[in-house]
A and B are shown apart, each in its own frame.
Chain A
Amino acid sequence: MALTSKKSSFDLLSIPIIKKFIKSKWYPGIFQWMVLVFFSVIVFELVAGTVNPHRNFGTTMTWVLWWPIIPILFIAMGRFWCAICPFGKLSDIIRKMVGSERPMPKFLRKYGIWLIDLFFIAITYSDHVWGIVESPRGSGYLLLLLITMVVATSVFYERRTFCKTLCFLGGLAGNYSRSGALELRGTAEICRTCKTQSCFKGSEQAEGCPMFQFVRTMDSSAECNICGNCVKNCPNDSIKLQVRVPTKELWSLKNPKLEHASLAAVIMGIVFVQNITMLEIWGQILETISIVTGTSNYVVNFTIAFIISMALPILLLLGAAKLATLLGMPNTIKKNFILFGYAFIPLDLAGHLGHNLFHIITEGKAIWFNSLAFLGNEVTSSELSLASTSTVQMLQYFIITIGLLGSSYTAYKMGKKASFKAMMPYYGLMLLLGIINIYLFSLPMSHRV
C-alpha cells in the first residue's frame, strides 16, 4: 500500500483556505474555463490569423510562453496543468453531454503509454519535417487534430481516456511529475479501513478519479492531475497534498516500467535534436550525412539524424546497464536499464528547461508585443530579449548542473547497496550527457519566432 507515513512532509490541505477552495465547486473549474477561453482564442489565431509566425499571437503564446513554462509547472505542481488543460475540460464537457462512458479498451490500457511515447516522437519529427512550430497553420491543425482525438475518445469512453492513453504530453507530464515537488496521497490508517472507495468510484460531490487512480494503491504522482476530485469525494478526510523534495519519488520506485525508462532516454534524444537543429553546426551535420546518403534531400538526412539521436541515449543507457551488471550491480541488465532509466529524468528536465529558457528569455518580449498587437496596439521595438545571452547561458549551465546533481543523487539512492564501482557507468553516462548539454548550450542558437 502506497500511502503517506506518519512522518510526512507539509500538507497543503492543512491550510483551511486551500482545503476549502479545493473542496469547493470553483476548483478546478475556474481555471479550466479561463484556460479554455484563452485556448479558443489561440486556436482561432493559429488557423485564421496571420501566417507570419513572428506576429501570430497563437504561435507566440503556444511555443514561446506555454511550452517553456510547462516543465516548470510539472516540477512545482506535478500534473496540475492536466487538471486545467483545455483538452481535458473539453473531454469532461463532451462526456457529460453525449458520452457513452464505455470502459477503456484493453488495447489502450495495455499499450497506451507506448502510444503516448510514439505520438510524442512523431510530433517532434513532424515539427522538424513540416515545421509545425514555425507555422501558425501547422500548429493550429495539430491542435485541431488533438481536439478531434479528444472528441472521438470522449464520445465513446469513460473518464479521461485520451489524457491517460493518447495525449502526447502525457508521458512527459508523467515522467516530469515523478520528480516534482508536490504529491497527493491518502493516509494509510484511514484508507486501509475505507469501504466506500469513493475516490475511485465517485460520489455526489464529484466524479471518480478521471485518471483511473485509486488513492489507496497510488504510489506515484505520474498520473495524478491534482484535480481535487478525491479530496471532494473522500468521506474520511484521508487525502493529503504534500510538498516533497523534488526527485524523491524516484529514489524508491516500486514498479518501474520499460516504457517510462525508454521515454526518459528518448526525451534526452529529443532535447539533443531540438538543440542541434537550432545550432550553426546543424548545417555541417546535414552535409556530413548527405555525403553518406548521397542525397541532399532534407527529409532523408534529417530522418537519419533523428533516428540516431533517439537511439543513441537508449543504446548508451543499455551499455551503461550492461557494464554496471558486469561490475557487480545486482539484477539483470534489463532490470537495471529500466530502473536507472528513471534516474535520467532530472537531467531530461534540466535539458528541456535549459533549451526553452533560451527561447522564453531571448524572445520573451514577443509575448508582450504580440499580445499588444492582438489588442490592436502595434509596438515599434526591435528588442525581444529579456536578458543578455551570456546571462541566459549562465542560467542554462546552472540548470544542467542542478539536473546532473539530481540525476546522480537519484542513481545513488536507487543503487542502495551497490558499490561505487558498479555505479560508475551510470555516473559516467550522466556526466557525459551533462557535458554534451553544456557544450550545445555554449554554441550559437537560432530563435523560434
Chain B
Amino acid sequence: MKKWKLSLTVILFLFFFTNHSAALAHEGEEQESDNYLKDFSSNEHDHLDTEEEVTDSHNSHDSHKPEDSSNQLDTHGDSNYHNEEGAHGTFTGEETGPNYIVLSSFASVNAGFLLIGIWNKVRKRGNNHGIN
C-alpha cells in the first residue's frame, strides 16, 4: 500500500474511533421516543421569547401528532387551519454550547489531510532538488 493510502486509512480510523460521543443532529434538544407522529401543535413565534427553554414543534421527528395539526400547519385554503401570519414553531430544548469533541475531531481530520498535503509538497520539492 502506498504511503498516502496508509495515512488516509489511519486518519479515517482515528476519526471514527476516537470520538466516543455520537454527534446527533438533535444534540441538546429533547427527544420524545414513543410517539412518532409529528407534532404540529405549536404556533408561537419565538422571536419574542426571552427564556431559553421553549417548546419546539419541529425538532423531533419522533413526535408527530396529526390530531393537533391545526396550528403549525400553514394552509393554502380557507379551512380552520388558516394562518396568514406564518406560524413559527417554538422550541423546547436546552441551549447548549458547541460540542468541542465533534469540532476538534473535524479539525484534526482536516489538519491531518493538510499535513499529508504539506508532506507531499516537501517530499516532491526534495525529490526535485535531488534530481537537480
Interface, chain A (partner B; CB < 8 A): 47-48, 50-55, 94, 97-100, 126, 128-132, 134-135, 137-138, 141, 144-145, 147-148, 151-152, 155-156, 277, 279-280, 282-284, 286-287, 290, 296-298, 301-302, 358, 362-363, 365-366, 369, 373, 378-385, 388-390, 392-393, 441-449
Contact = CB atoms under 8 A, between A and B. Distances in A.
Given A48-B98, A444-B73, A384 B25 contact: no
Nearest to A295: B36
A381 B85 CA distance: 10
B9 interface: no
A48 to B, nearest CB: 4
Given A147-B110, A444-B73, 10 more contacts: A47-B98, A53-B58, A54-B58, A98-B117, A130-B24, A280-B73, A280-B81, A282-B66, A444-B74, A448-B58
Given A148-B110, A155-B113, A389 B36 contact: no
Given A53-B58, A155-B114, A286-B64, A383 B36 contact: no
B74 A389 contact: yes
- Interface extent on B, as a size class? 35 or more
Contacts of A449: 58, 88-89
Contacts of B106: 141, 144-145, 147-148
Given A53-B91, A389-B74, A283 B64 contact: yes
Contacts of A131: 25-26, 58-61
Given A131-B26, A131-B61, A442-B77, A55 B46 contact: yes
A129 B110 CA distance: 27
Contacts of A444: 69, 73-77, 79, 81
Nearest to B124: A100
A316 B91 CA distance: 40
Contacts of A94: 114, 117
B14 interface: no
20 contacts: A47-B99, A50-B95, A52-B56, A52-B91, A54-B58, A100-B117, A147-B110, A155-B117, A280-B69, A280-B73, A282-B66, A283-B38, A283-B64, A287-B66, A358-B74, A382-B48, A388-B84, A446-B40, A447-B74, A447-B88
Most buried by A among B8, B47, B73: B47
A130 B26 contact: yes
Contacts of B29: 51, 135
A46 to B, nearest CB: 10
Given A53-B58, A98-B117, A280 B86 contact: no
Nearest to B23: A141
Nearest to A300: B36
B84 A392 contact: no
Nearest to B60: A131
A389 B81 CA distance: 11
Contacts of A55: 46-47, 91
Interface in B46-97: 46-48, 54, 56-62, 64-67, 69, 72-77, 79, 81-91, 93-97
A160 B29 CA distance: 37
B113 A389 contact: no
Contacts of A137: 23, 25-28, 99
Contacts of B79: 444
